[in-house]
């Protein structure tokens, strides 16, 4: 896969599978950089911050970004603002290409099957000091010059995985290519990000999260579920035209739930003055995450991670049901 977007990495690996610190819905790393972020300015990059489609997203960030001063810029302007005291919030990603090697009995080797995995995410980053050390000649900025501090996984359609430029050529709404997205969902992600950065601890969410108090409340409430969770992904062809049967997916969920469109969910998050709970399902390359979020605080109150899985299953919903069964009202 090729991409013209400068802040996208492609790596090639021979004979092994490379794992990155990537198995999380929201991760926090390099916490020593947080103090620098707080004292500097964070530049939030978009195709055009002044476009009508970006307005709700700009407002969501403006109303919830509390960790630092911030400004909105265009992607094309990023390098103008790179300095030791600044940080950046951008959409980025990387692709890994893995080639397995066959070892024959006589000791000879031959190249085997190629596998490709693509990850896309919203990323908070700073710049390494060594980028600024050579003042005689301006160095072209590379992905290797970044220090990643936070990362929020994005679930895009297969079309965008095949050509990530589609995201960067679109307005900040992603033109419908990002499923766990919208001004309301972004608001909640920013709320959680601010909380995690203020905690100042490394965070990798490939382990279970279970907030018993919040989950007890959920037992009495409606769980709102975006309709995109029913999209059925074919891992061999990339086809996403088929749908899971709702009754089968939720056959083990005995509590109240309601399927709504992603647009309806985002507007409900923005407009409702009381909290409710909603489910977010993310497919990040070959990793699957299912989470429940509090719409007022943005807190992830429940989260599970399943490697090498591409679709939501009835057993995922069953697990959520079972985790609540022993809770008292």
Q: How far apart are the first and last CA of the chain?
A: 51
Q: Per-residue pLDDT tens for 216-269?
A: 999 999 999 999 999 998 888 888 899 999 999 999 999 999 999 999 999 999
Claim to verify: residue 23 and residue 169 sit in the same structural domain: yes
Structural domain that includes position 312: 209-325
pLDDT tens per residue across span 134-178: 766 667 888 889 999 999 999 988 887 777 777 777 889 988 899
pLDDT of residue 324: 87
Q: Flag whether 3 is in a domain.
A: no
180 and 36 both lie in a single domain: yes
Taking the model in full, what pTM does it have? 0.86
Last residue in a domain, options 156, 176, 199: 199
Domain final residue, candidates 157, 176, 199: 199
pLDDT value for 12: 36
Residue 78 sits in the same domain as residue 42: yes
**Domain identity same for 223 and 124:** no
Pick from 100-109, 201-210, 252-261: least confident: 100-109
| pLDDT at residue 16, as a whole number | 34
Question: Which has the closest alpha carbon to 95: 150, 149, 160, 176?
Answer: 160
Q: What are the residue ranges of helices labelled H in the chain?
A: 34-39, 55-62, 158-162, 165-168, 183-199, 212-218, 246-249, 262-271, 314-325
Residue 204 resides in a domain: no
The residue among 192, 100, 97 whose CA lies nearest residue 150 is 192
| Total count of domains within the chain | 2
Q: Of 159, 181, 199, which marks where a domain is finished? A: 199
Judged against a pLDDT cut of 90, whether residue 132 lies above it is answered with no
- Nearest residue to 23 (alpha-carbon basis) of 299, 288, 290: 288
For residue 95, what is the DSSP state?
E
78 with 214, same domain: the answer is no
* Region label for 284, one of left (φ > 0), alpha (ψ between -120 and 50) or beta (otherwise): beta
Q: DSSP characters for 148-211?
A: EEEEEE--B-HHHHH-THHHHTS-TTGGG-BSS-SHHHHHHHHHHHHHHHHHT--B---S-EE-
């Amino acid at each position: 896969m090729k991409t013209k977007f400068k802040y996208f990495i492609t790596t090639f690996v021979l004979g092994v599978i490379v794992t990155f610190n990537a198995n999380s819905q929201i991760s926090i790393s390099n916490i020593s950089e947080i103090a620098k972020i707080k004292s500097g300015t964070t530049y939030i990059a978009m195709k055009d911050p002044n476009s009508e489609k970006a307005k709700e997203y700009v407002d969501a960030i403006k109303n919830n970004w509390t960790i630092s001063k911030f400004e909105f810029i265009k992607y094309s302007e990023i390098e103008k603002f790179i300095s030791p005291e600044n940080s950046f919030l951008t959409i980025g990603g990387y692709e890994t290409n893995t080639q397995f090697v066959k070892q024959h009995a006589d000791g000879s080797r031959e190249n085997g099957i190629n596998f490709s995995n693509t990850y896309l995410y919203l990323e908070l980053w700073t710049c390494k000091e060594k980028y600024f050390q050579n003042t005689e000649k301006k160095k072209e900025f590379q992905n290797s010059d970044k220090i990643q501090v936070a990362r929020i996984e994005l679930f895009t359609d297969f079309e965008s995985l095949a050509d990530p430029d589609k995201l960067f050529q679109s307005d900040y709404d992603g033109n419908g290519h990002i499923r766990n997205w919208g001004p309301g969902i972004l608001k909640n992600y920013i709320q959680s990000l601010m909380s995690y950065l203020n905690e100042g601890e490394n965070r990798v969410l490939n382990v279970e999260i279970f907030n018993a108090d919040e989950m007890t409340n959920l037992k009495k409430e409606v769980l709102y579920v975006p309709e995109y969770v029913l999209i059925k992904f074919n891992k061999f062809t990339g086809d996403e035209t088929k749908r899971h049967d709702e009754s089968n997916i939720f056959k083990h969920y005995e509590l109240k739930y309601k399927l709504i469109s992603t647009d309806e969910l985002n507007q409900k998050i923005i407009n409702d003055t009381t909290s409710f709970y909603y489910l977010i399902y993310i497919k990040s390359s070959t990793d699957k995450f299912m989470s429940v979020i509090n719409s007022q605080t943005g807190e992830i109150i429940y989260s599970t991670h399943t490697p090498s899985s591409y679709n939501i299953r009835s057993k995922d919903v069953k697990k959520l049901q079972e985790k609540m069964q022993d809770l008292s009202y």
